[in-house]
Structure 1
Amino acid sequence: MTDITIYHNPACGTSRNTLAFIRNSGIEPTIILYLETPPSREKLKALISAMGISVRSLLRKNVEPFEQLGLAEERFNDEQLIEAMLNYPILINRPIVVSPLGTRLCRPSETVLDILPDAQQGAFIKEDGEKVIDQHGNRIV
């Protein structure tokens, strides 16, 4: 059985599509509802490192705490940004998927296909109606 974890927000369409891609490959992942159970400081740092992105790249900019805290200003260092994400988990961009093939911020949701060890098992249509996978499990380009 393949061990995959998704840091998920069920209110987010991108997160729901990503979870559906994982399930379409025949895998039931570990689902962490990160707004209810945020990662620890150490885990958040490890995820950022594994994704190979900057701390600032993981920040959601279109949520209220971002503006209220003035996080657009460059004066905040990585530790301060991490602290803000820990205090306001809504600032953590999602979904984050951890698989044996890597860790990714799956925006757009199709990004998850790059790190799924098993092929898609059938057709997949995103919530917005976009056809992504054909009936044979092949990606539509």
Structure 2
Amino acid sequence: MITIYHNPRCSKSRATCDLVADANAANEPVEVVEYLKTVPTVEQLKSLHALLGGPLRDMMRTNETEYAELGLADENVSDDQLYAAIAKHPTLLQRPIVVRNGRAVIGRPPENVATLFA
């Protein structure tokens, strides 16, 4: 199963969906999650972060207005507070994110997703 956390209004996200369709030679099932409509829970975000690895803020859109307004750049903000902020304000989730075979990557640039098919 391939899961794409997708925003159809984002050109990078649309390009990533196209890349996955082209790379999916085995015709694995693909689930497209429009995360602004179907907001991931805190537990789902934690699982996604574990697959991505790296700092939690890497999976956040730090240039979004909510990020500044909520003071999320403050180093004293805990991971639990960051997860809660993403769950409440899903625009903070970096996009697109593709999950396949227990691994995940952020599709910025979309070519990053090719590593899941190598």
Relative to the length of structure 2, the TM-score reads 0.90
Question: Larger RCO: Structure 1 or Structure 2 (Cα < 8 Å, ≥ 6 residues apart)?
Answer: 2
CA distance in 2, matches of 1:24, 1:32: 19
* Equivalences for residues 35-74 of structure 1 within 5 A: 35-74=36-75
Count of aligned positions: 115
Whose helix proportion is higher, 1 or 2?
Answer: 2
- Divergent runs of 4+, >6 A: none
Letter paired with 1:54:
P
Partner of residue 19, structure 2: 21
CA distance in 2, matches of 1:96, 1:113: 12
Unaligned 5+ segments in structure 2 are: none
Letter paired with 2:23:
S
Contact 1:7 1:32 in 2 (8 A): yes
Letter paired with 1:85:
I
Counterpart selection for 1:4 from 2, 5, 9: 2
Per-residue deviation, 1:24 = 1.3
Per-residue deviation, 1:58 = 1.2
CA distance in 2, matches of 1:37, 1:116: 26
Per-residue deviation, 1:25 = 2.2
CA distance in 2, matches of 1:34, 1:42: 14
Per mean C-alpha deviation after superposition, the further-off stretch among 84-93 and 47-56 is 47-56
Letter paired with 1:22:
V
Letter paired with 2:11:
G
SS at match of 1:22: helix
SS at match of 1:97: strand
Contact 2:23 2:114 in 1 (8 A): no
Per-residue deviation, 1:116 = 2.2
Per-residue deviation, 1:75 = 1.6
Partner of residue 81, structure 2: 80
Deviation by residue 1:79-132 (Cα, 9 ceiling, x = unmatched): 001110011000011111011262111211100001026xxxxxxxxxxxxxxx
Relative to the length of structure 1, the TM-score reads 0.76
Larger radius of gyration: 1
Identity %: 37
